[in-house]
């Protein structure tokens, strides 16, 4: 680790250290939201609903591929940060090499399993007769490119785990910019429609992966992509999987929850679905900001957990204050101009009223969502695998029965409020587990007297 990264891990003022790790992640996640909107925009210029439907239907597949990358990336990344705190630098090389090659293998397995089952996968995603061919084209390209997509999400976590937050952000932004440029070319110049958009996504992830691999191979002091450092020991596999598997399960649950929630909304007509689609897209921006904050500080928490628990405690305290401040600012903005925000997407008065109502309700849980993400990050950073696993499933387990009960008791309003209730339960469970584990996370007496 170079001296600058070591400074932010060990000596920088807490506010400065948190900003160093979190701000680049917050900017990177914000760019991903902008990219997803622009991706749909470029395809939308072709005025073919079936193409946009195909793009929407393939989101669960992309989520699974991304989850495979996070399985290795988050698990390896938090382990690397803890090893750096213990100054076990050779072990860092073994873990980073393991992450690089295992993520490639996972991507190849995904491709090998998926391509022979392409038609059942497309049917399973819900493709209609009109959208089947477009969906199949997108799925085919994504499966062929899955090794690069898995690798990209793995390496982003690995690079950030050693404190290279700026490099991590540059890689994310580079991928987004390449994707947008290629989207414009494939749509307006080559007229490749869905195949072009899918290819642009794969190529942009390949470019991002190459950028991260170059950093690991030539710029980083301790990370490596050299196969000679590859090891798959019981210790490495155990530490990676006990954190990585809960992250993977969480991604799968989020996709399943989205499908179930949409099923309930359909009962109340297209306007309900459209209103929630607009409001959730607006909510995604502040959510990703808070997620970037909480994910950004994970390496700092993991490093401090093994090196200086008092610094870890102060980092968590400062992050909580930042979550409160951001939630308040975003909440005030939404409650003042919610109608105007929904009006950016539609001029239907009823849709604006319904969308504004959903925004008001869902924004109530913004602080809770941020705190839940922080709890999950703390459990990941401190190798509390069981707690991380519980956090990965608690919201999904809670939401399903709450949806059924709330829908029966209060119809559409109950469906909307069920999200807030599920978030509140996840928050209470996370806070309770953090309280139970407090003795493991407390600073040593020697640190308190320093």
pLDDT digits (tens, 9 = 90+) for 70-100: 889 988 988 998 898 888 899 999 999 999 9
- Cα dihedral 431, 432, 437, 442, rounded to 10, equals 50
Whether residue 379 is found in the same domain as residue 445: yes
Last residue of a domain, one of 181, 205, 232: 232
Count of other CB atoms within 10 angstroms of residue 162: 29
Task: Establish if 338 belongs to a structural domain.
Answer: yes
Whether residue 172 is found in the same domain as residue 251: no
**pLDDT at position 449:** 42
Whole-number Cα distances in Å, 442 to 11, 315, 429: 19, 13, 20
Whether residue 111 is found in the same domain as residue 86: yes
**pLDDT at position 145:** 94
Task: Establish if 239 belongs to a structural domain.
Answer: no
Phi, psi of 47 (to 5 degrees): 55, 45
Contact indicator for 43, 194 with CB cutoff of 8 Å: yes
**pLDDT at position 22:** 86
Whether residue 262 is found in the same domain as residue 226: no
Whether residue 262 is found in the same domain as residue 218: no
Task: Establish if 240 belongs to a structural domain.
Answer: no
CA contacts within 13 A on the Cβ side of 154: 33
Last residue of a domain, one of 180, 201, 232: 232
Whether residue 337 is found in the same domain as residue 389: yes
**pLDDT at position 143:** 94
**pLDDT at position 30:** 75
Task: Establish if 205 belongs to a structural domain.
Answer: yes
Rounded Cα gap, residues 93 and 114, in angstroms? 32
**pLDDT at position 37:** 67
Task: Establish if 212 belongs to a structural domain.
Answer: yes
**pLDDT at position 141:** 93
Whether residue 4 is found in the same domain as residue 148: yes
CA contacts within 13 A on the Cβ side of 429: 24
Task: Going from the first residue of the chain to its last (450 residues), give the mean pLDDT of each consecutive group of 10, the final group possibly shorter.
Answer: 71 89 80 69 71 73 85 89 88 94 95 93 80 88 94 92 86 90 87 86 94 93 90 89 82 70 72 72 81 86 86 92 93 84 75 84 87 90 85 81 88 88 91 86 53
Last residue of a domain, one of 202, 232, 262: 232
Whether residue 279 is found in the same domain as residue 407: yes
Count of other CB atoms within 10 angstroms of residue 181: 12
Whether residue 160 is found in the same domain as residue 41: yes
Task: State which residues form the domain around 198.
Answer: 1-232
Task: Establish if 349 belongs to a structural domain.
Answer: yes
Burial 48-80 (b: 16+ CB within 10 A, else e): bebbbbbbebbebbbebbbbbbbbbbbbbbbbb
Contact indicator for 35, 102 with CB cutoff of 8 Å: no
How many structural domains compose the chain?
Answer: 2
**pLDDT at position 324:** 94
Whether residue 216 is found in the same domain as residue 252: no
Whether residue 173 is found in the same domain as residue 292: no
Task: Establish if 381 belongs to a structural domain.
Answer: yes
Task: Establish if 237 belongs to a structural domain.
Answer: no
**pLDDT at position 203:** 95
Whether residue 113 is found in the same domain as residue 142: yes
């Amino acid at each position: 680790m170079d001296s600058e990264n070591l400074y932010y891990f060990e000596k920088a003022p807490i506010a400065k250290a948190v900003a160093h790790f979190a701000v680049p992640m917050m900017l990177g996640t914000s760019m991903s939201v902008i990219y997803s909107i622009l991706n749909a925009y470029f395809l939308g210029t072709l005025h073919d609903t079936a193409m946009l439907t195909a793009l929407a239907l393939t989101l669960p597949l992309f989520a699974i591929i991304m989850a495979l990358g996070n399985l290795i990336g988050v698990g390896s990344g938090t382990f690397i940060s803890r090893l750096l705190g213990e100054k076990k630098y050779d072990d860092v090389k073994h873990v980073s090499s393991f992450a690089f090659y295992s993520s490639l293998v996972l991507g190849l397995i995904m491709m090998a399993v998926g391509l022979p089952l392409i038609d059942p996968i497309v049917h399973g995603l819900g493709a209609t007769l009109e959208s089947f061919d477009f969906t199949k084209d997108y799925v085919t390209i994504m499966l062929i490119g899955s090794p690069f997509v898995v690798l990209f999400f793995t390496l982003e976590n690995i690079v950030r785990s050693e404190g290279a937050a700026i490099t991590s952000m540059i890689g994310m932004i580079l991928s987004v910019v390449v994707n947008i440029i290629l989207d414009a070319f494939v749509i307006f110049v080559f007229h490749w429609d869905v195949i072009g958009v899918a290819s642009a996504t794969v190529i942009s992830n390949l470019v991002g992966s190459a950028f991260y691999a170059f950093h690991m191979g030539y710029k980083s002091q301790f990370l490596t992509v050299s196969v000679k450092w590859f090891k798959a020991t019981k210790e490495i596999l155990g530490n990676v999987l006990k954190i990585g598997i809960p992250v993977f399960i969480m991604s799968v649950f989020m996709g399943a929850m989205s499908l179930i929630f949409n099923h309930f909304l359909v009962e109340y007509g297209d306007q309900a679905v459209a209103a929630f689609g607009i409001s959730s897209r607006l909510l995604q921006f502040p959510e990703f900001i808070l997620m970037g904050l909480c994910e950004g500080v994970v390496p700092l928490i993991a490093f401090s957990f093994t090196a200086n628990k008092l610094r870890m405690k102060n980092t968590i305290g400062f992050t909580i204050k930042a979550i409160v401040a951001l939630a308040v600012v975003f909440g005030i903005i939404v409650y003042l101009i919610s109608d105007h925000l929904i009006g950016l997407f539609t001029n239907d008065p009823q849709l604006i009223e319904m969308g504004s109502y959903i925004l008001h309700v869902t924004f109530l849980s913004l602080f809770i969502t941020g705190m839940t993400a922080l709890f999950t990050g703390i459990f990941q950073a401190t190798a509390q695998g069981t707690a991380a696993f519980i956090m990965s499933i608690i919201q999904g387990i809670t939401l399903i029965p709450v949806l059924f009960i709330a829908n029966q008791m209060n119809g559409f309003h109950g469906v909307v409020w069920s999200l807030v209730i599920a978030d509140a339960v996840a928050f209470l469970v996370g806070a309770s587990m953090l309280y139970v584990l407090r003795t493991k996370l407390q600073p040593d007496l020697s640190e308190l007297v320093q």
